[in-house]
Amino acid sequence: MNRHLLALATAAALASPAIAAEPTRLTIYSGDFDAVARSGGYPANAGHALVDTTLAWDLKPGDNAVRYSRLPQALDASSVRLEPRGKASVRGQRYDFALADQDALLRRAIGQTVTVEQGVGNGLERHTGTLLAAGNGLTLQLPDGRVKVLSNYASFELPALPEGLAAEPGLAWTIASPAAGRESFDLSYATGGLAWRAEYQATLRGQGKACRMAFDGAAMVANTSGMDFRDVGLSLVAGQPNRVTDAGYAAPMAAKSERMMVVADAAPSPEASGEYHAYRLPGTGDLPTGSVQRLPLVDAATGVACERRYETRSPMGEWQPPQPMIDPNYNRQEGEQPVIANLLFENAKSGGLGVPLPAGRVRVFDGKDFLGEAALGHTPAQANVSLALGTVFDITAERERADFQLDRSGRTMTETIVLTLRNAKDEAATVHVREVLSRWTDWEVTQSSVPAKKLDAQAAGFEVAVPAGGQAQLRYTVRYRWAPDVRLP
């Protein structure tokens, strides 16, 4: 803030206190939920939210010094905008975050007149003078010129708050008004310490493709911004816009009071919000700092078609080699590999869903039995969903490389893999095998005990039926080829 504005802020009489003319709107973006919620109720800078409120002041003609102090600790001061609705204009803006604690008061009061109380016996003595120094004690110059050093004191008193200090953090503006009267202003700012994520529950019945699912979703909203938001309208945005972050500014926690919880009787309908989806909750309520609230997000759906699938994957990654990998020991990983339980479904209206699903956690049950949980990314309507729930206990897979042959002159190599699948369950199971064929980009499965399917440019898939209490074997041979101009290592 420039010196002119500082002079105006201290010289002009303060206008009437700010009055919130309309309910505040709070828009919280998804992301950083764990960092915010796990901050132990202390103010957090993670998370992102936008606050929109309307303020009004009674102004006099000319310059008016106004102030607003109900602010979160994680306020982004550079984002603050005060827009007049009438003919008034904002001449300057300042964020005061230097608080009037004892040390700050004494540092700023040097050279000013202070009154100090000192305990003597059972009484108190008062000393008034100019403060010369403050450290392990106070040094005063008394009115008669003597210098008095007080090594200990009970209290001190200042005639006024030193310039540049505030009793609490706040925003100060100098507003020029052409006439006297009440003016309204739109205040908006960004803050951290607020985040949300979706929390879903899927309850399954049936196996394989006969699976049917009950599915619902809630929004978990965390506030550790250091401020209670009272009587606010709440919107939740499923999306994480890019932001440039900095250290922010500090301010104290807001005082506690009676609060009305944010409530909703039904899930809100998603609305477009730029490139994202917004869920606007009806009515208003309170979002106290140091809290996590659960709110409806996705209406419960029953009888959703799903598939419970067992999958195992080769341990090779999806890396594409720059040349044929002819080393016989390349990626020779043998032994046991996990079999994973997966849940698949389509987010379609025909199945009872068909709404945008914000990112969050999905907890999956088989009746009352907990099967596992998985992270769901932002999922548009009509998209297919695949969730890995955990390693299966009763189905195992063991990998072995049975053969490898290299023909340099013929520019080919062949590899034979054997996968033994064992099922200790009382019912038969089908295991979906994904094999990454990573030695070269030109490949073909020439022989297989189970029909092979090309899944993508690097992988082949197999569906292996494994009997109850028994085992089955997948054996396949893949042939790689390369052109004459391809160099070998």
For residue 280, the model assigns a pLDDT of 83
Alpha carbons within 13 angstroms on the beta-carbon side of residue 190 total 14
Mean pLDDT, rounded, for 9-15 = 38
- Whether 266 shows a pLDDT value over 70: the answer reads no
- Predicted TM-score (pTM) of this structure: 0.70
Phi/psi of residue 27, each to 5°?
A: -110, 115
pLDDT in the model for residue 352: 83
Nearest to 157 by CA among 127, 119, 121, 123: 127
DSSP assignment of 114-146 equals EEEEEEETTEEEEEEEEEEEESSSEEEE-TTS-
- CA–CA gap between residue 231 and residue 260 (Å, rounded): 8
Task: Compute, in degrees rounded to 10, the torsion defined by CA atoms 385, 391, 396, 402.
Answer: 70
Rounded to the nearest integer, the mean pLDDT of the chain is: 84
- The helix or strand, by DSSP H or E, that contains position 109, with its residue range, turns out to be helix 102-109
Question: pLDDT at position 120, please?
Answer: 81
The DSSP symbol for 424 reads -
Instruction: Starting at the earlier edge strand, list the strands of the sheet with 443-448.
Output: 335-337, 395-407, 412-423, 471-481, 443-448
User: What does the block give as tokens for 475?
Assistant: 């054996």
More confident residue, 7 or 161: 161
What's the rounded Cα separation, in Å, for the pair 245 and 385?
33
The answer to whether the CB of 93 falls within 8 A of the CB of 222 is: no
Helices (H), 249-328: none
Strand bridging mode 395-407 / 384-391 = unpaired
Tokens of 355: 């709404």
In this predicted structure, the answer to whether residue 9 has a pLDDT above a threshold of 80 is no
> What was the pLDDT predicted at 32?
86
Distance CA 201, CA 361 (A): 8
pLDDT at 195: 92
Cβ contact 221:239 at 8 Å? no
CB-based contacts of 456: which residues, under 8 Å, 6+ apart? none
Q: How many whole angstroms from its chain centre is CA 373?
A: 19
Beta-strand runs (E) in 161-290: 170-177, 181-191, 194-205, 212-223, 229-238, 270-273, 276-280, 285-287
Q: Which residue has the higher pLDDT, 3 or 116?
A: 116
Q: Which residue has the tokens 């978990």?
A: 220
Residues 194, 223 contacting (CB under 8 angstroms): yes
For the stretch 49-100, pLDDT in tens is 999 999 999 999 999 999 898 888 888 889 999 999 999 999 999 887 655 5
Most confidently predicted of 18-27, 197-206, 251-260, 265-274: 197-206
Q: Give mean pLDDT, residues 399-428.
A: 96
CA–CA separation, 306 vs 142, rounded Å?
A: 86
Residue 51, phi then psi, degrees to nearest 5:
-115, 130
Q: Is the pLDDT of residue 259 over 70?
A: no
User: Which of 18-32, 59-73, 150-164, 227-241 has the highest average model confidence (pLDDT)?
Assistant: 59-73
Retrieve residue 305's tokens: 């078609």
| Mean local confidence (pLDDT), 154-177 | 77
Q: Which of 376, 358, 365 is nearest to 213 (CA)?
A: 365
Rg (CA), the chain: 34
Q: What percent of the chain has pLDDT over 90?
A: 50
**What is the Cα–Cα distance from 462 to 474, expressed in whole angstroms?**
8
Nearest Cα to Cα of residue 131 among 147, 152, 120, 144: 147
C-alpha distances in Å from residue 110, one per residue of 105, 143, 448: 9, 16, 89
Q: Residue 4 in 3-state DSSP?
A: helix
Task: Quote the pLDDT of residue 19.
Answer: 58
Collapsing DSSP to helix, strand or coil, 306 comes out as strand
- In angstroms, the CA 178 to CA 195 distance is 41
In angstroms, the first-to-last Cα distance of the chain is 66
DSSP letter string, 393-412? SSEEEEEEEEEEEEETTTTE
Domains of the chain: 110-157 (2.30.30.520), 194-298 (no CATH), 314-481 (no CATH)
Stretch among 234-248, 287-301, 310-324, 438-452 having the lowest mean pLDDT: 234-248
**How many angstroms from the chain centroid is the CA of residue 379?**
17
Least Cα distance to 137 among 111, 124, 156, 123 occurs for 156
User: Measured over all CA atoms, what is the biggest interatomic distance in the chain, rounded to whole angstroms?
Assistant: 110
pLDDT in tens, 307-359: 999 999 988 878 888 999 999 998 888 899 999 999 999 999 888 898 888 88
User: Looking at residue 10, what is its pLDDT?
Assistant: 30
CA distance to 57, 70, 433, per residue, from 17 (Å): 7, 12, 69
Q: For the residues 366-392, what does the mean pLDDT come to?
A: 93
Least confident of 69-78, 271-280, 458-467: 271-280
Report d(CA 328, CA 404) in Å as an integer: 7
Report for 97-111, 242-256, 257-271: range of highest mean pLDDT = 97-111
